[in-house]
Amino acid sequence: MARFAANLTYLFTELPMLQRFAAARRAGFDGVEILFPYDLPAKELIAAAQESSLRFVLMNTPPPNWAGGPRGFAAEPGNETRFRSDFDRALRYAEALQVAHLHVMAGKAEGPKARETLLRNLEWACARAPEMSLTLEPMNSSDMPGYFLDSFDLASEIIDEIDQPNLGLQFDVYQAHMIHGDVIHTWERHARNTHHIQIAGCPGRHEPRAGEINYAGFFRAVDAAGFRGWVGAEYTPRTSTEAGLRWLRSA
């Protein structure tokens, strides 16, 4: 049975960040994700998680400015030095918070040179952080035009080529639906590489219940594959977070 983590960047935003931990625990979550925790001191985040007995599950490598800025540098030729600097910064935070997975963002790029750059950077990152699970998340071109990792096939191809146990797939179900359409078939093709799952409904990236994605069927496929990792709830609530948590209580 998978364990659920609340993405506190999206959920419980009615509250200040440090108060969202207790709200997540009361709602029934066992872990938390924060996309970019760098603006808060690690010791405050650690204390908030410990007080609520929550595990830090996921964070992202840091972009310089998320609001309109680049979505990472891992695949961008010429930005290798910046990628390594950002990765080391992220790794310090991730190790302090004892995060389960660190999502390495590829950035906007295209062509063979970008692929080569991504491979080199990921090989370096895997060697730099051998005890940390590093994840790659494909992103659809409608929401993230120009993002290099725009298919699950490409992400798995990269993971297979690097062939390191600490590099895996971040299987975002919303992204799988937007990119490939058939979520269950996509899962069955890529479950072997998956380190982490994220969920959201479609359309709108709201609660993972009514909508185009068959979540009951998806979770049956997840159980059949023997996945025992974390499932991150990364969605925008339609109204308040609490009002939309029926899916969690029936999971």
The residues annotated as belonging to the active site are 137, 234
Residue in the structure block whose two tokens are 């071109």: 141
Distance CA 231, CA 234 (A): 9
Distance CA 126, CA 131 (A): 9
DSSP letter string over 198-225? EE--TTTS--SSSSSS-HHHHHHHHHHT
* DSSP code of residue 69: S
Rg, Å, the chain Cα set: 17
- Host H or E run for residue 15: none
Contacts of residue 28, defined as CB under 8 A and 6 or more positions apart, other chains included, come to 4, 245, 248, 249
Distance CA 213, CA 5 (A): 20
3-state secondary structure of 172: strand
> Where in the chain does DSSP place strands (E)?
3-7, 31-33, 55-60, 101-103, 133-136, 167-172, 194-199, 230-233
